[in-house]
Chain A
Amino acid sequence: MRRSVSLAVFIAVAILGIGALGAGARNSSVAAQQKAETTEVKIDNFSFGPATLTVSVGTTVTWTNRDDIPHTVVSADDPKIFKSKVLDTDEKFSFTFTRAGTYPYFCSIHPKMTGKVIVQ
């Protein structure tokens, strides 16, 4: 009896342990995914940060211009999928990505500034 209890405890502990491991793995995976779903893109020093952003379908991405020069956020596809008005300092533009795909974009005032959003 004592032996079977020990075994039961051992099994229970083992199961818990495995469960905990599994939960831990799941949590870190969720955390990584959440990190990748950052919906903010900052415009600093004539560049988009991050330059490549990966999000899931349905995510709304918001760009904020933190330069003291105006910028735009314009889809590089033809036809253009999104196009902001000119963003002065601290102004924002948001777009919700409803379909999977890769969306390259640029600043139409300073076309050397490029970025892309990957929607999965």
Chain B
Amino acid sequence: MSRKTMPPKIQDELLHDHNHDGVDRRGFLKCMAWAGTGAFCVIRGGVLHSYSLSRFAELSPKEMAGELSFAQISDSHMGFNKAANPDVAATLKAAVDKINGLTVAPEFLLHTGDISHLSKPEEFDTVDQILKSAKPQDVFYVPGEHDVLNDDGKQFLERYGKGSKGSGWYSFDKKGVHFIGLVNVMNLKAGGLGTLGHEQLEWLEDDVKHLKHSTPLVVFAHIPLWSVYPEWGWGTEDSAQALSYLKKFGSVTVLNGHIHQTMQKVEGNVTFHTATSTAFPQPQPGKADSPGPMKVPAEQLKSVLGITDVNVVKGQQALAVVDSNLE
């Protein structure tokens, strides 16, 4: 396994071989590979390692060991049935199978939104049913814009928002790591980006106020909390203010979905990851007229399925995220 250490300076749009499918940035541009499924994350020695589940079979016990591990899945879009992927239930099941195939089961799942495609009850039901077969039984959700259609998120809150604040934000602690789920898909304004809003920002400031600076933070929300491509709405208006509250922390990892492809950016103490979709890929920023679903040949769609696992490693001053290449 080779390890890419975190660059010390701010870098824009690092596109690593984050899917561990042998596709580097150049390759990504060339074949527009798409990795659905998810990520296995393990926190080890204060460092969050992220592995695509597409090649989980190659993970050694050592690589999977850490204080805490969880898996991120995103953008299931249950109900979508167009050419880009006529069977999104099957690809979600494939993600669950990969998670269940891990020799060390992640402690829980994070779903970073767009569970459903049209906020229909049966779409949520189907996802719930599929995720019941996952070994990790705890699933932490944040809504995507497709989950709060027509009812301002009422149904989402009823199903997934128990104990949350406002439109569904919350935090929890697992083995010394502080997790914060944020909602940035409500009350979107014409011409604007994702938005957190005043009430949620105030809550966030208060939520982290009493934490030790050495506490590793994992923040997750649907729309990226960094400007991936504002022209397509891939960013959050007031994310800078949210991140300003996290500056004092040595180790901050931000996990997002929404853009249906993996990207990574390191900025100071914060590492940003976006996850792939379990449903269908979207084009790279500006590489198409619009961010509509990208159609890839069926055999490629299947072959590029992967899962992101996150492994949080504790023990270092600064929390760092390391992209782990399985080769």
Give me the interface of A with B, judged by CB distance under 8 Å.
45-47, 67-70, 72, 76, 85-86, 88-89, 104-106, 108-112, 114
Complex: A70 Cα to B293 Cα, angstroms: 11
B-side contacts of A104, CB under 8 Å: 190
Would you list which residues of chain B between 140 and 192 have a CB under 8 Å from chain A?
A: 145-146, 149-150, 188-192
B-side contacts of A46, CB under 8 Å: 232, 289-292
A-side contacts of B149, CB under 8 Å: 70, 72, 85-86, 109
Complex: A106 Cα to B232 Cα, angstroms: 14
Complex: A86 Cα to B189 Cα, angstroms: 16
A-side contacts of B82, CB under 8 Å: 68, 89
B84 within 8 A of A: yes
Min CB–CB distance B173 → chain A (angstroms): 33
Asked if B231 contacts A111 (CB within 8 A), the reply is no
Residue of A86, A88, A111 touching B188 (CB-CB under 8 A): A111
Min CB–CB distance B75 → chain A (angstroms): 12
Complex: A104 Cα to B191 Cα, angstroms: 11
B-side contacts of A86, CB under 8 Å: 118-119, 149-150
Would you list which residues of chain B between 285 and 307 have a CB under 8 Å from chain A?
A: 289-293
A-side contacts of B293, CB under 8 Å: 68-69
Complex: A112 Cα to B293 Cα, angstroms: 17
A-B contact count (CB 8 A): 58
Asked if B190 contacts A114 (CB within 8 A), the reply is yes
Asked if A105 contacts B190 (CB within 8 A), the reply is yes
Asked if A70 contacts B146 (CB within 8 A), the reply is yes
Min CB–CB distance A78 → chain B (angstroms): 10
Asked if A47 contacts B290 (CB within 8 A), the reply is yes
Question: Given the interface contacts A68-B83, A104-B190, A106-B191, does A112 sit within 8 Å of B231 by beta carbon?
Answer: yes
B193 within 8 A of A: yes
Question: Given the interface contacts A86-B149, A112-B233, does A68 sit within 8 Å of B188 by beta carbon?
Answer: no
Min CB–CB distance A3 → chain B (angstroms): 71
B-side contacts of A45, CB under 8 Å: 289-290, 292
Closest 8 CB pairs of A and B: A106-B190, A46-B290, A76-B190, A68-B82, A86-B149, A111-B188, A112-B233, A45-B290
B-side contacts of A112, CB under 8 Å: 191-192, 231-233
Complex: A73 Cα to B83 Cα, angstroms: 24
A-side contacts of B44, CB under 8 Å: none
A-side contacts of B188, CB under 8 Å: 108-109, 111
Question: Given the interface contacts A67-B292, A68-B82, A68-B83, does A111 sit within 8 Å of B192 by beta carbon?
Answer: yes
B273 within 8 A of A: no
Min CB–CB distance A80 → chain B (angstroms): 11
B-side contacts of A110, CB under 8 Å: 233, 291
In this complex, what residue of A is CB-closest to B84? A68
Asked if B190 contacts A111 (CB within 8 A), the reply is yes
Q: List 27 A-B contacts (CB under 8 A).
A: A45-B290, A46-B232, A46-B289, A46-B290, A46-B292, A47-B290, A68-B293, A69-B293, A70-B118, A70-B149, A85-B149, A85-B150, A86-B118, A86-B150, A89-B82, A104-B190, A105-B190, A106-B190, A108-B145, A111-B188, A111-B190, A111-B191, A112-B191, A112-B231, A112-B232, A114-B190, A114-B191
B117 within 8 A of A: yes
Min CB–CB distance A114 → chain B (angstroms): 5
Would you list which residues of chain B between 73 and 125 have a CB under 8 Å from chain A?
A: 82-84, 117-119
Complex: A42 Cα to B84 Cα, angstroms: 22
Would you list which residues of chain B between 228 and 263 have a CB under 8 Å from chain A?
A: 231-233
Complex: A70 Cα to B149 Cα, angstroms: 10
B-side contacts of A85, CB under 8 Å: 149-150
Complex: A75 Cα to B39 Cα, angstroms: 39
Complex: A105 Cα to B190 Cα, angstroms: 7
A-side contacts of B84, CB under 8 Å: 68
Min CB–CB distance B261 → chain A (angstroms): 16
